A and B are shown apart, each in its own frame.
Chain A
Amino acid sequence: MSEDKQKLINDAVEKALSGDADAVNNIEDRVTRAKAKAALVKAKREQPKKEDSNDDASKSDEKEQPLSDNTVQKVSASLIAKFPKSLDGEQNSDWIQLKPESWFEIAKWLKDNPDFYFDSLQCNTGFDLGEGLLESRYNLHSMKHLHSIEIRIKVSVEKPDIPSVESIWRVADWFERETYDMFGINFIGHSDLRRILLPEDWEGWPLRKDYEEQETYHGIVVPKVKEGWE
């Protein structure tokens, strides 16, 4: 992109942020206008976070978001103190990225610590990040303090091992079985890690992005043609 176009975009975004919505719409060139809109969205997303600390009105607007941001920072601060080296890579204010090794101890601590008291595991989502990485995401919630956080744990496809938290939150039993079923993530220490939704002798991990259906199942041809979808 040429420099003056970039300048045009920056100007338009600045104007739009200060209230003049037409500044972006008035850009003639379609491509530049689209880029300006994208820049505007990005700028707007960054903006409210700065304002949050002193503006109460915007807090109530965004439902639980500011609260959970707060919680994430609080939790990760105490995590660093209690379990140094457990955090994985860069952190941000929306979730906590953990290394798999000490997840079991951390989970136990998150549940038992009276400040946080995450007694309910809301959701466990498997995830294929591509580039040979899988992820398991946990949405935790406290019925007592009414706050929630998201924990993410990255593992490689070659060695997809994550400690199981089945004995901490019993609901994790079936959640982990489902994630295992769909992504092949191994939950170490799970008492009964079997497939849950698919038949036990099904091959492959369906929700991975590189998944290919098996040719036949018990002599029945597995259909692969996706005609008539649209």
Chain B
Amino acid sequence: MGVVHGQEMVLNIGPQHPATHGVLRLQVKTDGEVISEITPYLGYLHRCFEKHCENVSYEQVIPFTDRCDYLASMTMNFGYVVAMEQLMDIKVNDRVQYIRVIMAELQRIASHLLATGVFGLDLGAFTPFLHMLRDRERIIDLFEMTCGARLLYNYMWVGGLSHDLPKGFVEETLRFLDYFEPKVDEFENLLGHNKIFVERTADIGIMPAEVAINYGVTGPNLRASGIKWDLRKDDPYSVYDRLDFEVPIGLGVKGTVGDSWDRFYVRLQEIRQSINIVRQAIDKLPKDGDVHQSMPKKIRPPKGSIYSRTESPRGDLGYYIESDGSDTPYRLKMRSPAFTALGVLNEIAGGWLMSDVLAILGSLDIVLGEIDR
């Protein structure tokens, strides 16, 4: 925080504040209502993830990854097992791959529902939030049916899955999708075209594409700035190259490309794409195949390192794993997408009003558990 001039004031938002989506302190320098500088202070949720990983075996890391991004645990598991399987050169069968894709996409829907719902809530729209949580609940029920847990699943294991799909899962999922698909249009009308919401978000917190790339912003936030970049398409892992889907980008429908409304709308469209992917994956799901088939008895990767990226609901989720040939990772680094998304806040929120800061922060969809690790 630099020099404070006359008329200027330093304010703290958080750490305990519902709009910070966790425990985050923003030190804000204001001139009247106008923000001149934001300094985020992180670390309130730091749980020494990387240090812990050096002390536990490779399979014991998976529950820790759950707890990093607790709103998208499935995709956190997914990223880790993809990295491990690349490091150990394990090929898993198609049934496992398709189940993983189904789970990851359902998780993406759940995560985006919460992200858009809470975004509305931050701006005072309470009703859409309740509608979205109601439908998110159905997805969580599906997960509970599969592995017994509602939030932290520990479902994807290196070389396989903890359980096969339970009886009736596919029918239940299809029933949910049939119910849910029209609801997305409802959300769009309820929140996206609401006049107050549009006034609060369109043309607010514009993130130009070069800024986004320079700050390492990824995922829906980057796509809202008009760049078609999705690891599921551009560097396909698992079986995403066999599935047909679109990558929605921000078009500036209500304002400028890369504004807060675009970030909201990209997420909403991604929900539609995810529904589409889940349907295709269910169609292609092989009937037989043991989900424990390729699981190694002892996870002991050869000496070497790997940097592997997957697309989590928040962006490029990278795992850097270095193995020294023993049972525990020598070094494990998680490259968190929300960490870089928060880094851009000062750049795009400067010059806006105090009330816009919450709109911009909400549109970035950060999860502090993943930022602080």
Contacts and interface: CB of A to CB of B under 8 A. Distances in A.
B372 A197 contact: yes
Interface string B48-59: 101100111000
A123 B343 contact: no
Main secondary structure of the interface of B (DSSP, over half): mixed
A137 B43 contact: no
B50 A122 contact: no
Given A206-B48, A207-B50, A121 B216 contact: yes
Contacts of B213: 119-120, 143
Nearest to A152: B305
Contacts of A226: 55
Given A170-B214, A171-B343, A197-B43, A127 B331 contact: yes
Contacts of B347: 170
A174 B307 contact: no
B42 A150 contact: no
Interface residues of A, number: 34
Interface string A80-121: 000000000000000000000000000000000000000111
A227 to B, nearest CB: 13
B320 interface: yes
A196 interface: yes
A63 B235 contact: yes
B333 interface: yes
A56 B347 CA distance: 45
B48 A120 contact: no
A173 B344 CA distance: 10
Given A196-B42, A197-B43, A206-B51, A171 B320 contact: no
Interface in A186-200: 195-199
Interface of B: 42-43, 46, 48, 50-51, 54-56, 86, 213-216, 227, 229, 234-235, 237, 302, 307, 309, 316, 318, 320, 322, 331, 333, 335, 339-340, 343, 347, 372-373
